[in-house]
C-alpha cells in the first residue's frame, strides 16, 4: 500500500497521469522471450508491461531478465507472467508522485477505474517531475520545510553543492550509502564526502550530465549532475545517485557485443548509428523547461489517437523529431515513417511523387510504374513538411485525398484506400496565410485537428546547457576525437544568444567549436565572431565589468561586512544558523566568512 500523501501538498501538477507515457508499448502473455527482446531492442525500452487478453496488467519484464533468458537459451519459451510480478507497482492516474519516492520499484503501471493499463511511469519520469517541482518551490518564499521533506523521502541519493563545491544539502539516502552522516557532510567539499565525484566540476563547466557511470563504494552507479542557474550564472549543482547496480547488465552487454562483432566484422568508424534517428521516443527529446515539457505532454496524448496533427514553429525547432517520436509511440509504430518536403517538389511532379504513377503514364515513366509516398507510408505515418509552401492548386489536390482517404496513381483509373497517419508541419504563420487567402481554409481545418506549436530556443533558454552537453559529446564521438568541455562563460554566452536558427544553429555552432578548437577546454575566445560580436554578448561583458567594480568595493569595505557579521552574531546570541538567517546568507557562506575574518 502507498503511504498517505502529505496533506499540505495537494497539487495536480504531481499527479502520476501528468507524467506517464501513454499509450504504453505492451506484450501479450503468450509471447516468447525472443519476440519480446526484439520489440524491446527496436523501441529501446528498459522494460515492457505484460497484459492478458482483456488488457489487465499481469506483470512486467526488464531488459536484464530478457538478456538473461536469451543467454540461457530460452529463446522460444513463452513468458511466464508469474515470474515477473515483482518488477512493478500498480497505481492510479491521480496518485501523487511524492508517494512513490520511498518505493524501490523501477517502473509503475498506471490503470484506469476499470483496472486496465493506460500508461507507465519510470524512475526517470519521477525524477523529471520532482526536478520541475523543486524549481517551482524555489519561486516561493516558505519552501524550506517542503523541500526538506522531498529530499528526505527520495529513494535516490540527492546532493546539492554551492558555487564553491561545498555541500549544502545531502539527503538520508545518500548518507546511508556512503556512510557519512548528513550533519558531517554539510559544509564540507563534495570531494571529501563522495568519491570520484565531478559535481564540483559541473559548477565550473555549467554542463549537465545525465546517466553517467561513477564508481562509489567499489561499484559502478548511474548518476545525474545538473547545474543550478540564477541570473545568468551557475550558483550550484544537484547530483542524483540512482540506486541501480549496472555491473551485471554491462557484463552481459559486453558479451553480446563481442559476439556480434565477431559475426559482423569491425564497424566502419564513420558510419552513423541509424537507430538513434529511427527510434525516437517523446521522453528522449532533450529539454525540461516548462514550455517543452508541456509540448511533450501534448505529444504523448496526440500519439494515442489517429487524428491528423499540425506541428508549427520556427525553422530548426525540431518539428520532424517530434513527428518521428509521435510515430514511434503511436499504434502505427510497426509501419514506415515517410518524410516529404512539400517545398522541394516541383508542381508538375507533385501528383506522381505523392500518389505514384502507372507504366506508360507519361514520357520517361519507369517500367512497371512507381509507388507514391502515400503508398510507401501505408499502415504507417506520412510527414508532410513545409506544407505552407504548396500552391493553391496542389492544396486542392491534397485536400481531396485527405477527405476521401483514397488516391489513384497518375495514368490509372483505379483508386486505392489509404491507411496512413498524417502529420503536417510548417514554419510559416499558417493562420495569417488563411486570412490572406494563400492557404485554403478547409485544408487548414483538415490538418489542424491537433496542433503542436514548438517554442523557439530563445524562449526555453534553460534547456540550452543540456542541449550543449548532449551535442558536444555526440559530435566528439562522431568525429572520433577526445571529449571536450565548455567553460561556464561559454555556456552563459550561448544562453543569451538569440539563436535565429534554433537547435539547428546551435548544433552547427557546437560542431564548429568541437572541430576548429585544438584544446580540450573551449573558452569564450573560441566562439565564432558572430556570437562574440552579438549585442547580447557585448551587454554581458559590460555587466561583468560592473560586477567586478562592485566586488572591488566590497573588498575595500570588508570591515563593514565584518561589523555586520559581528552584530548578527550578537543579535543571535552566538547561534550561527540564526545569524546566517539575519544576514540573508546560507550557513556555509557564514562559516566561510567567519574563517575569512578570523572570527
The enclosing domain of 395 has a CATH number of 3.40.50.300
* Residue 566 belongs to a domain: no
pLDDT of residue 7: 38
247, 272, 304 - which closes a domain: 247
Q: Say if residue 219 is in the same domain as residue 101.
A: no
319 or 247, greater pLDDT:
319
pLDDT of residue 4: 38
Examine the pLDDT at 355 and tell me if it is beyond 80.
Answer: yes
Of 405, 451, 404, nearest to 294 by C-alpha is 451
Examine the pLDDT at 301 and tell me if it is beyond 80.
Answer: yes
* Residue 270 belongs to a domain: no
Q: φ, ψ for residue 275 (rounded to 5)? A: -65, -20
Instruction: Return the minimum-mean-pLDDT range out of 348-362, 370-384, 529-543.
Output: 529-543
Mode of pairing for the β-strands spanning 356-357 and 370-371: antiparallel
Report, as an integer, the average pLDDT of 496-525. Answer: 92
Q: Say if residue 343 is in the same domain as residue 427.
A: yes
Question: The C-alpha cell of 485 is what?
Answer: 568541455
Examine the pLDDT at 247 and tell me if it is beyond 60.
Answer: no
pLDDT of residue 337: 94
Report, as an integer, the average pLDDT of 51-71. Answer: 83
Report, as an integer, the average pLDDT of 421-438. Answer: 94
For residue range 275-288, list pLDDT tens digits in order: 334 445 776 788 87
Examine the pLDDT at 249 and tell me if it is beyond 50.
Answer: no
* Residue 298 belongs to a domain: yes
Q: Which one of 33-47, 276-290, 299-313 scores highest in mean pLDDT?
A: 299-313
Report how far apart the first and last C-alpha atoms of the chain are (Å, whole number). Answer: 52
504, 538, 572 - which closes a domain: 538
pLDDT of residue 252: 43
Q: Say if residue 469 is in the same domain as residue 394.
A: no
pLDDT band at 145 (very low <50, low <70, confident <90, very high): low
Q: Say if residue 339 is in the same domain as residue 419.
A: yes
Of 469, 496, 467, 486, nearest to 524 by C-alpha is 486
Q: Say if residue 389 is in the same domain as residue 422.
A: yes
Examine the pLDDT at 502 and tell me if it is beyond 90.
Answer: yes
Examine the pLDDT at 67 and tell me if it is beyond 70.
Answer: yes
pLDDT of residue 563: 67
Report, as an integer, the average pLDDT of 303-319. Answer: 92
Q: Say if residue 446 is in the same domain as residue 464.
A: no
Q: Say if residue 331 is in the same domain as residue 219.
A: no
Tell me the CATH number at 31. 3.10.580.10
* Residue 469 belongs to a domain: yes
Q: Say if residue 295 is in the same domain as residue 406.
A: yes
* Residue 253 belongs to a domain: no
pLDDT of residue 310: 96
Strands (E), 262-418: 309-312, 337-341, 356-357, 370-371, 381-385, 406-408, 415-417
* Residue 427 belongs to a domain: yes
Q: Say if residue 115 is in the same domain as residue 166.
A: no
Q: Say if residue 441 is in the same domain as residue 313.
A: yes
518, 538, 558 - which closes a domain: 538
- Residue 79 CA to residue 81 CA, distance in Å, equals 6
Domain range holding 298? 282-455
Examine the pLDDT at 238 and tell me if it is beyond 80.
Answer: yes
pLDDT band at 539 (very low <50, low <70, confident <90, very high): low
Question: The C-alpha cell of 78 is what?
Answer: 513463452
* Residue 429 belongs to a domain: yes
pLDDT of residue 131: 67
- From residue 102, alpha-carbon distances to 106, 155, 160, 224 in Å are 11, 5, 20, 19
Report, as an integer, the average pLDDT of 158-178. Answer: 86
Tell me the CATH number at 187. 3.30.450.20
pLDDT band at 144 (very low <50, low <70, confident <90, very high): low
pLDDT of residue 583: 65
Number of domains in the chain: 4
pLDDT band at 248 (very low <50, low <70, confident <90, very high): very low
pLDDT of residue 501: 93
Question: The C-alpha cell of 275 is what?
Answer: 537507430
pLDDT of residue 377: 92
pLDDT of residue 290: 82
Tell me the CATH number at 495. 1.10.8.60
Q: Would you say 434 and 441 are in contact if contact means Cβ atoms under 8 Å apart?
A: yes
Over pLDDT 70: what percentage of the chain?
Answer: 79
Q: Would you say 362 and 408 are in contact if contact means Cβ atoms under 8 Å apart?
A: no
Q: Say if residue 290 is in the same domain as residue 435.
A: yes
Report, as an integer, the average pLDDT of 183-194. Answer: 88
Instruction: Return the minimum-mean-pLDDT range out of 464-468, 499-503, 558-562.
Output: 558-562
pLDDT of residue 490: 87
* Residue 266 belongs to a domain: no
Q: Say if residue 323 is in the same domain as residue 420.
A: yes
- From residue 389, alpha-carbon distances to 187, 385, 386, 547, 580 in Å are 60, 9, 6, 49, 61
pLDDT of residue 280: 58
Query: What is the per-residue DSSP string for 323-354?
Result: HHHHHHTSTTTTS-EEEEEGGGS-GGGHHHHH
Q: Would you say 534 and 498 are in contact if contact means Cβ atoms under 8 Å apart?
A: yes
- Residue 489 CA to residue 484 CA, distance in Å, equals 15
130 or 258, greater pLDDT:
130
pLDDT of residue 387: 94
pLDDT of residue 530: 87
Amino acid at each position: 500500500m502507498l503511504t498517505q500523501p502529505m496533506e499540505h501538498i495537494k497539487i495536480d501538477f504531481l499527479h502520476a497521469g501528468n507524467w506517464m507515457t501513454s499509450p504504453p508499448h505492451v506484450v501479450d502473455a503468450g509471447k516468447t522471450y525472443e519476440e519480446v527482446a526484439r520489440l524491446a531492442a527496436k523501441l529501446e525500452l528498459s522494460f515492457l508491461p505484460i497484459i492478458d487478453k482483456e488488457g489487465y496488467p499481469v506483470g512486467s519484464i526488464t531488459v536484464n531478465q530478457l538478456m538473461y533468458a536469451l543467454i540461457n537459451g530460452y529463446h522460444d519459451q513463452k513468458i511466464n507472467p508469474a515470474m515477473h510480478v515483482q518488477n512493478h507497482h500498480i497505481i492510479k492516474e491521480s496518485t501523487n508522485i511524492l508517494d512513490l519516492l520511498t518505493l524501490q520499484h523501477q517502473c509503475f503501471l498506471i490503470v484506469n477505474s476499470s483496472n486496465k493499463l493506460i500508461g507507465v511511469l519510470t524512475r526517470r519520469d519521477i525524477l523529471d517531475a520532482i526536478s520541475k517541482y523543486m524549481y517551482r518551490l524555489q519561486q516561493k518564499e516558505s519552501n524550506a520545510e517542503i523541500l526538506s521533506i522531498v529530499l528526505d523521502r527520495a529513494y535516490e541519493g540527492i546532493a546539492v553543492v554551492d558555487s564553491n563545491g561545498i555541500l549544502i544539502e545531502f539527503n538520508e539516502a545518500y548518507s546511508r550509502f556512503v556512510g557519512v552522516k548528513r550533519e558531517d557532510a554539510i559544509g564540507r567539499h563534495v570531494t571529501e564526502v563522495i568519491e570520484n565525484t565531478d559535481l564540483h566540476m559541473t559548477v565550473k563547466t555549467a554542463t549537465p550530465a545525465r546517466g553517467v557511470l561513477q564508481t562509489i563504494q567499489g561499484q559502478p552507479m548511474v548518476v545525474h549532475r545538473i547545474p543550478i542557474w540564477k541570473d545568468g550564472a551557475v550558483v550550484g549543482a544537484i547530483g542524483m545517485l540512482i540506486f541501480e547496480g549496472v555491473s551485471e547488465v554491462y557484463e552481459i552487454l559486453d558479451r553480446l557485443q563481442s559476439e556480434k562483432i565477431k559475426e559482423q566484422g569491425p564497424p566502419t568508424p564513420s558510419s552513423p548509428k541509424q537507430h538513434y534517428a529511427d527510434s525516437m521516443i517523446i521522453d528522449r527529446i532533450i529539454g525540461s523547461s516548462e514550455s517543452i515539457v508541456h509540448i511533450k505532454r501534448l505529444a504523448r496524448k496526440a500519439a494515442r489517437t489517429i487524428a491528423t496533427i499540425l506541428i508549427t514553429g520556427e525553422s530548426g525547432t525540431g518539428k520532424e523529431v517530434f513527428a518521428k517520436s509521435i510515430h514511434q509511440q503511436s499504434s502505427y509504430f510497426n509501419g514506415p515513417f515517410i518524410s516529404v518536403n512539400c517545398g522541394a517538389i516541383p508542381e508538375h511532379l507533385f501528383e506522381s511523387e505523392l500518389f505514384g504513377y502507372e507504366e506508360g503514364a507519361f514520357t520517361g515513366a519507369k517500367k512497371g510504374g512507381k509507388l507514391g509516398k502515400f503508398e510507401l507510408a501505408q499502415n504507417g505515418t506520412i510527414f508532410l513538411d513545409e506544407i505552407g509552401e504548396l500552391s493553391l492548386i496542389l492544396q486542392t489536390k491534397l485536400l481531396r485525398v485527405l477527405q476521401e482517404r483514397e488516391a489513384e496513381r497518375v495514368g490509372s483509373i483505379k483508386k486505392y484506400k489509404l491507411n496512413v497517419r498524417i502529420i503536417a508541419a510548417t514554419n510559416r504563420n499558417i493562420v495569417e496565410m488563411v486570412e490572406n487567402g494563400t492557404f485554403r481554409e478547409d485544408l487548414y481545418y483538415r490538418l489542424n485537428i491537433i496542433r503542436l506549436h514548438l517554442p523557439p530556443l530563445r524562449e526555453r533558454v534553460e534547456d540550452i546547457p543540456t542541449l550543449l552537453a548532449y551535442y558536444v559529446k555526440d559530435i566528439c564521438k562522431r568525429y572520433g576525437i577526445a571529449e571536450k568541455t565548455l567553460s561556464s562563460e561559454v555556456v552563459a554566452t550561448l544562453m543569451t544568444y538569440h539563436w535565429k536558427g534554433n537547435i539547428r544553429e546551435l548544433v552547427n555552432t557546437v560542431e564548429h567549436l568541437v572541430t576548429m578548437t585544438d584544446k580540450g577546454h573551449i573558452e569564450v575566445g573560441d566562439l565564432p565572431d558572430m556570437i562574440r560580436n552579438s549585442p547580447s554578448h557585448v551587454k554581458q561583458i559590460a555587466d561583468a565589468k560592473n560586477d567586478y567594480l562592485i566586488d572591488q568595493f566590497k573588498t575595500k569595505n570588508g570591515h563593514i561586512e565584518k561589523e555586520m557579521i559581528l552584530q548578527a552574531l550578537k543579535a543571535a546570541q552566538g547561534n550561527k544558523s540564526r545569524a546566517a538567517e539575519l544576514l540573508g546568507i546560507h550557513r556555509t557562506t557564514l562559516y566561510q566568512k567567519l574563517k575569512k575574518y578570523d572570527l
